Structure 1
Amino acid sequence: MRVINTTSKRIGRYQPVPNLIELQLNSYRWFLEEGLPELFKTFSPIWDFTQTNYIELVSFNLGEPKYDIQECRNRDMTFEAPIKAIVRFGGRDREMIESEVYLGDLPLMTDKGTFIINGRERVIVSQLSRSAGLYFEEGVDTTMNVIVSARVIPTEGPWLEVDSDGNNVVRAQISQTKKLPITQLIKALYYFERGRGRVSLRLGDSAGKRVGEPVVDTETGEILVEQGTILTPERFAQLPVEHHDLIAKVEQPFATNDDVLRYFSKEVTLESPSADDLVGKRVLEDLVRDGEVIVRKGEKIERETARLLEAANIDSLRVLDVLRLAEATLENDPTTNAREALLDIYKRLRPGEAANEDAAKQLIYGLFF
């Protein structure tokens, strides 16, 4: 048997032990010196939903801890220091006020890279988190219908999850709240100026859009299109061709269910339509028979009405063919306009509080803008 004898020789050179907590210490130092100021800049100044008053965080300072590390251990307290900020309050028609405001207590890191929380020494364990972005998924339900879902993960603010179901209803979920029809969320966001996606387009490319600012003739100063006008085909046909190159601020209207239907549909002309062709379509004008309106403008044609129209031998009929997902989602949407949608979402997020328009505007504006 071979015997291995150990040697008494020692290596004269050795590698010093690295500072294993240097990363944690440097990270916390960066947080205090650069991270917090950058965080303040991301949301400062903070304007109210009327864009009249604002609060600006100018700077901050970290005070001295009330108790040292050993005393915090003995008293079962947190080793922390007060953080105070210089806040500037002002508005468009008011005098600016500046004062120091107490924000809260910030836990401090010890020289060992730990925190003293309620007298106990704690460390921060890094963990993976989903990166901000838009994620799509596809699958099937128990009835083998294709289910498509999407998850919107912002850098800040609540997650937004969107999915469809077997009944073709597209629903949205804000954080952990109950799901609601996505058309309701679209109308609620349109309530705010920043949620309307206003863009600059040629007037000739703006059919179906709502004018956000008056369109003025650059030569005569005449107002060609008033603010708030929807450029329907009839209104668009009234514009002279030489004005089609003017640049206009326009937005896609989503204030009402009719606006949503108009966007998610296309106009078609049915020649000698049968009952099957007409069921589910929406008419563009009132249908009158023997002086009686049988289908009003924008209403859906039901099976019985479709049979009457087929028996009438109509040569052609202009109708709206609505996207199936939009039709099913609107049928499950209890609201009809942006204000109702805003208040209904507030009730879902604050079920124990009385809903009022001002509180709803502040809550939804703070979540998404």
Structure 2
Amino acid sequence: LEMPDLIEVQKKSYKWFLEEGLREVFREISPIESFTGNLALEFVDYRLENNPKYSVEECKDRDTTYAVPMKVKVRLTNRETGEIKESEVFMGDFPLMTEKGTFIINGAERVIVSQLVRSPGVYYEQQFDKFGKKLISATVIPNRGAWLEYEEDSNDIVYVRIDRTRKVPVTVLLRALGYSTDIQILDLLGEEEKLKATLDKDTTKSEEEALIEIYKRLRPGEPPTVESAKSLLYALFFDAKRYDLAKVGRYKFNKKLALKTRIVNLKSAKKIVNPVTGEILVEEGEKISKEKAEEIQNCGINVVEVLVEGKVVRVIGNNTVDINKYPMPYDVSNLNIKEAVNLSILKEILDNFSDEEAVINEIKNRMDELVPKNITKDDIIATISYQLNLTHGIGSIDDIDHLGNRRLRSVGELLQNQFRIGLARLERVVKERMTIQDV
């Protein structure tokens, strides 16, 4: 039996870090702009010198680090004068991985151990209170950013914790997202008993009040204003620099919250019609097959009402479609998009552009919005909808200890996270220097 390459994972991960991981971090941080917006610093490219100063053995003998110099090409733009300066700067010595998958740090051979962590995504759990009543909770875990935790109490009130703070009724978060009245919330998620009980508990009655309430919980002691609350909520969840689900998190989100996986084998409460062609997809009372469920989602339907034990239950997806199956005016198969895309952004592109080339270019340019790394408003609504649906037996509970819900954080990703922290510090220093120069 041939011996497998046991350090292949480490080597591949480090190679990914050198070729893609570093570029990702530079792209995230670039450009760094001064507070006035007059100066902008871009990281154009980077390169590592080919030959380390000492070999692996020499580094061990001399108690030095096995590394090569890293050079970064930067471009400084003065927007007032239009002046552009470009130069290559030395950014430090970059530790190299040896053939054995190790690093030589100050003469000592070190290895970076992979971590087994909870995979980013949304997880549902159930517990029982002292009377044996089933309580459902949900946790939204990002790769980087603030957690969202939903929970219920024995009185059927659904709460949310934002970034591990004190809990607030979930309707406060919905109001803060723009669904300000009780009627709008009930129209959105359906006439659910838990929702009505939560609305009775909720003391806020408008979007402004909800934003102030959330701000007070997240920033106690600071004077709350509607504007600062809005910018805080945006920074926490909708800013891709601060919130990152990573590819795996986005995949797991779409898999869990997609409409097509949640309505299979359920009876439709209403006739479902294709909004594009007008074709009847499912008759009232008909069982929805797997094929039909996929067709319903990919023609742009995001809300379906189903019958469960004679009750009408509303199921809301996270507003995504498979672009290759969506009725597009042009063929986009050569773009090779494998992930589900955000329908509202796709519709916006199709509404604004009519020319095939322009549509395809805009899709390429807006891939970060079509497949967002951050959480979206649709994701939050679908998460709450899923929790309410679980009361009616629609959906499934997750086992957090299952290895399918865990992933390896390998050397490349761990180094990338450290590099990101370093560059975030650099960004602060550069901004301060720019401000002094502006003055």
User: TM class by shorter-chain length?
Assistant: 0.3 to 0.5
Structure with the bigger percentage of strand: 1
Structure with larger RCO (C-alpha < 8 A, sep 6+)? 2
Structure with the bigger percentage of helix: 2
TM-score of the superposition, structure 2-length normalised?
A: 0.39
Q: Which has the larger radius of gyration?
A: 1
